[in-house]
């Protein structure tokens, strides 16, 4: 019996759009509006399909943690909406996506008190992931769309360099966002 290779999985086993996992604290529903905004923003790009617990998990007897970590691990990217704290499950989702080399985007809610662990996580991950603060839902939507579009362009450019036999840049390509009030 022949098992599919990773290349087969990527080329044939996945839909024609990226699977972007939506991650955030869910206990008590503190980020419901932000999650819905993220889902709509991801799907408005036509580049990606958002996988989220509230829309895609099946009812039944299973471990929610295992399902979420499995989907994070098999996603093309992960959007983390970070409010006051990083839960243990949210951290595991983030790590699973990173271990699978998925793109990771962290959107940090302004105006909330964060615990020490969340502040340290943000400080450490600014070097490994795209991070951006947001003050409201409109800003969150714009930042997600911009980040996914920049990621798509940068990915295509890196593939083009590889086809030309050139090494991609050794430094991380950072997504730059226009400052508020300036034209893009």
- Mean pLDDT over 13-42 rounds to 88
Weakest-pLDDT range from 64-68, 78-82, 167-171 = 167-171
Of how many residues is the chain composed?
Answer: 184
Q: Which helix (H) or strand (E) holds 130?
A: strand 130-134
What residues contact 75, with CB distance under 8 A and at least 6 apart? Answer: 18, 19, 20, 21, 51, 97, 100, 102
SS3 content of the chain, % helix, strand, coil (to 5): 45, 15, 40
Segments making up each domain of the chain, as ranges = 14-163
What residues contact 33, with CB distance under 8 A and at least 6 apart? Answer: 137
Beta bridge partners of 109: 134
Closest by Cα among 56, 7, 59, 58 to 35: 56
Q: So what's the pLDDT on residue 5?
A: 62
Q: So what's the pLDDT on residue 182?
A: 43
Residue 41 CA to residue 66 CA, distance in Å, equals: 26
Which tens digit of pLDDT belongs to each residue from 78-112?
Answer: 999 999 999 999 999 999 999 999 999 999 999 99
Closest by Cα among 36, 21, 152, 3 to 96: 21
Please state, as a whole number, how many other Cβ atoms lie within 10 Å of the Cβ of residue 108: 19
pLDDT at 67 over 60: yes
Spell 96-106 as b/e; 16+ CB within 10 A means b.
bbbeeebbbbb
pLDDT at 179 over 80: no
Higher pLDDT, 1 or 103: 103
Q: In the block, which residue shows the tokens 């080329």?
A: 11
What residues contact 158, with CB distance under 8 A and at least 6 apart? Answer: 168
Q: Pull the structure tokens for residue 32.
A: 């419901």
Average pLDDT, the chain: 84
CATH of domain 14-163: 3.40.50.450
């Amino acid at each position: 019996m022949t098992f599919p290779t990773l290349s087969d999985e990527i080329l044939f086993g996945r839909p024609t759009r990226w699977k972007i996992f939506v991650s955030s604290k869910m206990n008590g529903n503190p980020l419901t509006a932000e999650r819905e905004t993220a889902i709509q923003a991801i799907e408005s790009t036509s580049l990606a399909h958002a996988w989220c617990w509230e829309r895609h998990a099946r009812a039944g007897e299973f471990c929610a943690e295992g399902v979420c970590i499995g989907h994070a691990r098999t996603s093309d990217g992960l959007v983390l909406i970070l409010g006051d704290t990083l839960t243990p499950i949210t951290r595991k989702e983030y790590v699973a996506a990173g271990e699978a080399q998925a793109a990771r985007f962290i959107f940090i809610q302004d105006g909330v008190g964060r615990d020490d662990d969340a502040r340290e996580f943000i400080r450490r991950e600014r070097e490994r992931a795209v991070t951006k603060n947001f003050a409201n839902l409109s800003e969150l939507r714009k930042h997600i769309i911009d980040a996914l579009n920049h990621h798509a362009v940068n990915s295509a450019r890196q593939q083009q360099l590889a086809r030309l036999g050139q090494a991609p840049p050794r430094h991380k390509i950072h997504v730059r966002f226009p400052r508020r009030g300036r034209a893009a």
